[in-house]
Amino acid sequence: MFPKNTWYVACTPDEIDDKPLGRTICNEQIVFFRAEEGKVAAVEDFCPHRGAPLSLGFVRDGQLVCGYHGLEMGCDGKCSSMPGQRVRGFPSIRAYPVVERHGFIWVWTGDAALADPNDIPELHWANDPDWAYGGGLYHIKCDYRLMIDNLMDLTHETYVHASSIGQPEIEEAAPETKVDGDEVITSRYMENIPAPPFWQAALRGNNLADDVPVDRWQVCRFTPPSHVLIEVGVAHAGKGGYDAPPEFKASSIVVDFITPETDTSIWYFWGMARNFNPQDQALTDRIREGQGTIFAEDLDMLESQQRNLLKYPDRQLLKLNIDGGGVQARRIIDRLLKEEATPSSSAAAAS
Amino acid sequence: MFPKNTWYVACTPDEIDDKPLGRTICNEQIVFFRAEEGKVAAVEDFCPHRGAPLSLGFVRDGQLVCGYHGLEMGCDGKCSSMPGQRVRGFPSIRAYPVVERHGFIWVWTGDAALADPNDIPELHWANDPDWAYGGGLYHIKCDYRLMIDNLMDLTHETYVHASSIGQPEIEEAAPETKVDGDEVITSRYMENIPAPPFWQAALRGNNLADDVPVDRWQVCRFTPPSHVLIEVGVAHAGKGGYDAPPEFKASSIVVDFITPETDTSIWYFWGMARNFNPQDQALTDRIREGQGTIFAEDLDMLESQQRNLLKYPDRQLLKLNIDGGGVQARRIIDRLLKEEATPSSSAAAAS
Amino acid sequence: MFPKNTWYVACTPDEIDDKPLGRTICNEQIVFFRAEEGKVAAVEDFCPHRGAPLSLGFVRDGQLVCGYHGLEMGCDGKCSSMPGQRVRGFPSIRAYPVVERHGFIWVWTGDAALADPNDIPELHWANDPDWAYGGGLYHIKCDYRLMIDNLMDLTHETYVHASSIGQPEIEEAAPETKVDGDEVITSRYMENIPAPPFWQAALRGNNLADDVPVDRWQVCRFTPPSHVLIEVGVAHAGKGGYDAPPEFKASSIVVDFITPETDTSIWYFWGMARNFNPQDQALTDRIREGQGTIFAEDLDMLESQQRNLLKYPDRQLLKLNIDGGGVQARRIIDRLLKEEATPSSSAAAAS
């Protein structure tokens, strides 16, 4: 139950630099590889000869060569050649629209006729030398919407991430949720509070005192199908908070691309973009390591929650004010799912 | 297929001393914790907020705090508070009757209106300074009735435990099975035989010669739903056997509480209570270690037997004289199951 | 979907020398053991007493003793005795026709009335001092027919075994497939080519120059149900190839007995028989080690292919000239399956 006529992050470029990558996305088994001139390509991970996964093969001259008997597959899903064979009549396999942009490989698993690269979200920080980015990938056995819920309700930080970014002041500050078209924004502002350990370190990383009261903010932005970008930061208290000048604050964007693998598992691309000391690679590495440790704390909780929900499928969960972001996001997702299920709409969109 | 209107051992007190314990019992996912004043509590392991397992949380001031977003659950299954929320209208979760007694936590997964702590079996040795107890817990993937069969037919000792408590004289002595109300007693007496290694060690532990002929006995007592207490011992031959005075014998009670986890898995609480040298903790530890090693020998056999029976569900097994204890125990269990399936009977019992 | 009225290799003699062996063959759980006078026996792996697997027991005086309660099973599936019991009325379990021959244990899982040891294939090299044999066993999670396909189309060597026996000249030489009764022969001859590493080593093992051009051959012979014997070798170029005198060539027989465990898993008995330096045990060991490494390269491919085919059960695979051997083999298998499904035919055969 995920929209398919949309762009998902499939992998990062380094994952296909040396060899093809087999990865299931939206229940489709896909192989990603670099075709002619390094252009990224994505086709079904199924050799039309004998059904072997093409991802066990290799790339030669921009063609994906099956590692079993040498069939050569082109980026269009058509067999280009095979030793000792005439391949003209060979059946094709499905090719998927795929684009490399902003440091990610994006794939479209729905109706290819509707795929428009202009719909890939604009990530201003991705191509700006004033910004630095570091991130990673986790595989989690849960419905992608549980991860959206997680990220749109940051009160969980107080419990799941108590030793790093959590603090009781989070749950004391009620969040506000707004819907703007297909975007859902849940914001929380905390004033004159102590900075938790992760943000103390970030203040130091920006050469700022870490032992003074701060104003702290969290602005979670959901856009379909399952992207959550969160503006987070702290400023020395009373300097303007979110709007404080750069010399008084440490801020960044938490980046979350959530890609369904199956109905109950995801590829979770997480990272952080920052615009202070962007050239400091050691700082980037340190932040990534810290964030990786923190985000790993969510895994057990999410997978346990998923198992519980599968066991009790009929229970109604609560929808509190803190759940507003997730609730609104699911409402948008439900509308998109309904649109996809209506043949006329996609036909209309395609025409 | 297990009785539910009955008390099962859920865990030992040490398992919930530091943190909540999530454990499935009779197919119910339950969290056990210490509520106000250290009193044991048991509720569904499902947070009514977002379905996370409460067992991943912690206890604060006698309340079970969900480790995801901080909902506080009371021992009655009612949400007592949640940061920033009014909880009056929150749905409750199921609470289970639970009692700490005789060194175990007992839970009732059936109709709570029928739960009477007086039905918890009396274990005289548990609270008597003249007795010592040591035991452990194994998880085994088999129907709980296979474990009952195992314990009511000790001829298996000759094969499964050949190097410790087994000896050919066991199968040479025919057992006798009696039914007394809901109790099944299978007894076996062996006279003037050598003591096997485990009992040689027990004789030494009681400062008795270990190289003389002994009389040996095994009196297995099943009571529903799945408790098997076995009087075992040896006495120097000719001194009265089972009835010999204490200075001529080493005897003890093998304690077996078998708690269904699912239809084909159990929590097996095993132990031994003895009334010789009860203050000798080193002896208690040594006996527990020996018993643990011996009882672990049953695991592979029971799990293999279970897999075989699942593969051949229609085969009739033999019911020999040695199987009498298990056969009679199953007859009582079947009657209880039938009574539970008849609504009027439990209503009558409740009235 | 495998023929059952046929002989499969069940195990090698060393696997039952010390203790019984439980092994599933054609979905039947069977225990193999050495009965009276060392004669091999095979019965259901299910004790008629309580359903325990007999393979957890031991052999005593030619009887298979159940490791749970000591029931003694004879090679005919009839209980021969049990301590303290009269066993006359005990139900029997199924006994399987089983024969030790040519260094293997052969089992018949179909209609026992049709089992004729004369149908076990003749393996001339197995009992000839001029020949040496070494081999091993792999468990692979794939349909047995995928392994037949693999062995009847050796173009995969160029890809899967690129560093040992693969070379591009294989796929440049078109194979020829013939059917002779129930035998399928796929042959390939390559002339004046370099020897790949495995064959260079074999030439050295036969005291021949390894750096000169060779003629190479592969003659794959399938016989039902799933035996593939492959004549392979190289000769110094121009000396007659396949027919060259022994002093110019290194040749051997690749031995493949493929025994279905379940519908999607196999016991794969692989080995190599050679008639040069047959007394050189170190050479036998070296060849077995090399072959074991090479054949292990197929495992991941076959299991991945199987998973892909289960996921896409309706896809038609290609049947190219290189697939001719596998296609013809499947045709014979399909005919045998059809014959087995027709009651009258087996009745007629039995009469």
Flag whether A351 is in a domain. no
**C255–chain A nearest CA distance, Å:** 21
Which chain C residue has its CA at the smallest distance from B174's CA? C84
Instruction: Indicate the residue among B118, B140, B172 that finishes a domain.
Output: B118
Other CB atoms within a 10 A radius of the CB of residue B61 amount to 9
Mean pLDDT over each residue of chain C, to the nearest integer: 95
pLDDT (0 to 100) of residue C348: 47
Residue B77 forms contact with A (CB below 8 Å): no
CA-derived radius of gyration, chain B = 22
On whether both A150 and A211 belong to a single domain, the answer is: yes
- Per-residue pLDDT tens over the stretch A47-97: 999 999 999 999 999 999 999 999 999 999 999 999 999 999 999 999 999
Q: What percent of chain C has pLDDT over 90?
A: 95
Mean pLDDT per 10-residue section of chain B, whose length is 351 residues:
97 97 98 97 98 98 97 98 94 98 98 97 95 97 98 96 93 95 98 96 93 97 98 97 95 97 98 94 95 95 97 94 97 97 60 42
Flag whether A134 is in a domain. yes
Residues 6+ apart with CB under 8 A from B134: B271, B272, B284, B285, B287, B288, B291
Residue B313 forms contact with A (CB below 8 Å): no
On whether both C101 and C131 belong to a single domain, the answer is: no
Residue C336 one-letter amino acid: L
On whether both A182 and A81 belong to a single domain, the answer is: no
CATH of residue C241's domain is 3.90.380.10
Residues 6+ apart with CB under 8 A from B250: B199, B202, B203, B205, B206, B208, B233, B234, B235, B274, B276
Q: Please give the residue range of the domain that contains residue B180.
A: 128-340
Q: Can you tell me which residue has the tokens 């199921």?
A: B94
On whether both B108 and B139 belong to a single domain, the answer is: no
Flag whether C242 is in a domain. yes
On whether both A60 and A148 belong to a single domain, the answer is: no
- Span C192-217, average pLDDT: 95
- Per-residue pLDDT tens over the stretch B249-289: 999 999 999 999 999 999 999 999 999 899 999 999 999 99
Q: Can you list the alpha helix ranges (DSSP code H) found in chain A?
A: 144-152, 157-160, 169-172, 197-205, 281-311, 324-341, 343-350
Flag whether B345 is in a domain. no
Instruction: Look at C149 and A52 and tell me if their CB atoms are within 8 Å.
Output: no
On whether both B80 and B114 belong to a single domain, the answer is: yes
Contacts of C152 in chain A (CB under 8 A): none
Residues 6+ apart with CB under 8 A from C41: C32, C33, C34, C35, C64, C75, C95, C98
Q: Can you tell me which residue has the tokens 């008629």?
A: C48
Nearest CB to A172 within list B52, B84, B90: B84
Instruction: Indicate the residue among A118, A149, A179 that finishes a domain.
Output: A118
Flag whether A349 is in a domain. no
Instruction: Look at B304 and C53 and tell me if their CB atoms are within 8 Å.
Output: yes
- Per-residue pLDDT tens over the stretch C56-98: 999 999 999 999 999 999 999 999 999 999 999 999 999 999 9
Flag whether A170 is in a domain. yes
Residue C149 forms contact with A (CB below 8 Å): yes
Q: What is the ipTM metric for this complex? A: 0.93
Residue B316 forms contact with C (CB below 8 Å): yes
Instruction: Look at B171 and C70 and tell me if their CB atoms are within 8 Å.
Output: yes
Contacts of B48 in chain A (CB under 8 A): 317-318
pLDDT greater than 90 at residue A252: yes
- Span A189-218, average pLDDT: 95
Instruction: Look at B156 and C29 and tell me if their CB atoms are within 8 Å.
Output: no
Q: Helices then strands (H, E): number in chain C?
A: 7, 17
Instruction: Indicate the residue among B88, B118, B148 that finishes a domain.
Output: B118
On whether both C24 and C88 belong to a single domain, the answer is: yes
Q: What percent of chain C has pLDDT over 70?
A: 98
pLDDT greater than 50 at residue A348: no
pLDDT (0 to 100) of residue A342: 87
What's the predicted TM-score (pTM) here? 0.93
- Give the confidence band of C138 by pLDDT, cuts at 50, 70, 90: very high
On whether both B28 and B105 belong to a single domain, the answer is: yes
On whether both C74 and C222 belong to a single domain, the answer is: no
Instruction: Look at C318 and A69 and tell me if their CB atoms are within 8 Å.
Output: no
- Per-residue pLDDT tens over the stretch C90-136: 999 999 999 999 999 999 999 999 999 999 999 999 999 999 999 99
Residue C304 forms contact with A (CB below 8 Å): yes
- Span A24-41, average pLDDT: 97
CATH of residue C94's domain is 2.102.10.10
**C156–chain A nearest CA distance, Å:** 5
pLDDT (0 to 100) of residue B229: 98
Contacts of A300 in chain B (CB under 8 A): 56
- Span C207-221, average pLDDT: 97
Which chain B residue has its CA at the smallest distance from C87's CA? B320
- Span C300-314, average pLDDT: 96
Q: Can you tell me which residue has the tokens 């001259």?
A: A61
Which chain B residue has its CA at the smallest distance from C86's CA? B320
On whether both C53 and C150 belong to a single domain, the answer is: no
Flag whether C319 is in a domain. yes
Chains contacting B with at least 3 CB pairs below 8 Å? A, C
Residue A155 forms contact with B (CB below 8 Å): yes
Residue C86 forms contact with A (CB below 8 Å): no
Instruction: Look at B315 and C51 and tell me if their CB atoms are within 8 Å.
Output: yes
- Give the confidence band of C344 by pLDDT, cuts at 50, 70, 90: low
On whether both A18 and A97 belong to a single domain, the answer is: yes
Flag whether A1 is in a domain. no
Contacts of B317 in chain C (CB under 8 A): 48-51
On whether both B87 and B228 belong to a single domain, the answer is: no
Count of structural domains within chain C: 2
Q: Which of B27, B46, B50 should be substituted to probe chain A, the one whose Cβ sees the most A Cβ atoms within 10 Å?
A: B50
**Beta strand B132-140 pairing with B265-274:** antiparallel
Contacts of C43 in chain B (CB under 8 A): none
